[in-house]
């Protein structure tokens, strides 16, 4: 089993739709969780950190479920500009005392007019 897994998609959704992505992680000791978006041929950009209690930023809501070991991202009222690849990132402390970063495989979203 991969450390961090995502459905690669693509998710093709009409403008205005609500879409949700999940990301599962294998190590229960994981400590920090993030969502990044990456546009084609660009660098990843931080979309939002994921708080234990869940958090919202405008049309975006992130949730963490430690019991089932997954994080989710909900996008409401999709815009054409939301078309991108969404990457989840999980951090865990390694044996050397450093945070090790693991990227998920990414989920591609295409918002259609």
Binding footprint of another protein on the chain (CB under 8 A) = 31-32, 34, 41-46, 49-51, 87, 89, 91, 93-94, 96-106
Kindly list the distances between the CA atom of residue 22 and the CA atoms of 2, 60, 69, 104, 113, in Å, as whole numbers in the listed order. 14, 13, 10, 10, 24
68: which 2 tokens? Answer: 């089932």
CB 105 → another protein: shortest distance, Å?
6
Nearer Cβ to another protein (81/95): 95
CB 78 → another protein: shortest distance, Å?
22
Nearer Cβ to another protein (17/44): 44
d(CA 91, CA 53): 18
The three-state secondary structure class of 9 is coil
CB 37 → another protein: shortest distance, Å?
11
């Amino acid at each position: 089993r991969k450390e961090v897994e995502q459905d690669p998609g693509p998710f093709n959704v009409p403008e205005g739709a609500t879409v949700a992505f999940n990301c599962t992680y294998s190590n229960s000791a994981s400590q920090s969780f993030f969502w990044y978006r990456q546009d084609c041929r660009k660098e990843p950009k931080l979309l939002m950190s994921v708080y234990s209690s869940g958090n919202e930023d405008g049309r975006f809501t992130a949730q963490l479920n430690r019991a089932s070991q997954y994080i989710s991202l909900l996008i409401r009222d999709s815009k054409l500009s939301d078309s991108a690849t969404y990457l989840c990132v999980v951090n865990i402390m390694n044996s050397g005392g450093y945070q090790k970063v693991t990227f998920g495989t990414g989920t591609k979203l295409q918002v259609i007019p």
